[in-house]
């Protein structure tokens, strides 16, 4: 932002270059405002959670891995060609953008810092089977998750809906 403002200050008034530089400064200002709002929201939510609960449990998500593209698989029979890796060409564009926009990593680090500062218990759990394990009997199977919103345990018939 500061560099963009300095470049703007060095341009001649009334020039087309100055108009472009003003647009750049305005765009960076908008992005900074969005970033500040997101950070403020994270601080407010973290403070609410720390104030409400003595035990905070979060999934130990590998966010950087979630943002990565699927690696291409080279075709051994045709050099320079690649085998299908099961990922569509634009797979992950929308989900990685929404993960980045939400700022999961920033929120987790803010929440952890506030929890430690307040003396709350902080636990990170392995994310495997957290969405297909039954909270009633503990049975974990992919078949338990009927849809993303509906859960039905195949062993004890416990039902849960996230609506």
Q: Give pLDDT tens digits along the chain (163 positions).
A: 788 888 888 988 889 988 889 888 888 888 788 888 999 999 999 999 999 999 999 988 877 777 777 777 888 898 888 887 766 655 555 566 666 667 888 899 999 999 999 999 999 988 877 778 888 888 888 888 878 788 889 999 888 876 5
Nearest alpha carbon to residue 47 among 115, 121, 123: 115
Q: Which pTM does this prediction carry? A: 0.59
Give the start-to-end residue ranges of the domains of the chain: 2-127, 128-163
Dist CA 65 CA 103 (whole Å): 15
């Amino acid at each position: 932002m500061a560099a963009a403002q300095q470049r703007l200050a060095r341009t001649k008034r009334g020039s087309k270059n100055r108009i472009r530089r003003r647009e750049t400064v305005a765009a960076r200002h908008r992005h900074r405002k969005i970033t500040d709002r997101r950070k403020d929201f994270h601080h407010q939510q973290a403070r609410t959670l720390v104030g409400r609960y003595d035990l905070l449990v979060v999934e130990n998500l590998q966010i950087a891995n979630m943002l990565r593209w699927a690696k291409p698989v080279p075709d051994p029979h045709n050099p320079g060609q690649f085998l299908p890796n099961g990922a569509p060409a634009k797979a992950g564009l929308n989900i990685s953008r929404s993960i980045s926009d939400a700022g999961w990593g920033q929120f987790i680090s803010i929440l952890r810092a506030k929890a430690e500062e307040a003396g709350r218990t902080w636990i990170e759990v392995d994310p495997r089977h957290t969405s297909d394990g039954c909270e009633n009997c503990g049975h974990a199977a992919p078949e338990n998750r009927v849809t993303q919103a509906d859960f039905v345990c195949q062993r004890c018939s416990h039902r849960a809906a996230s609506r």
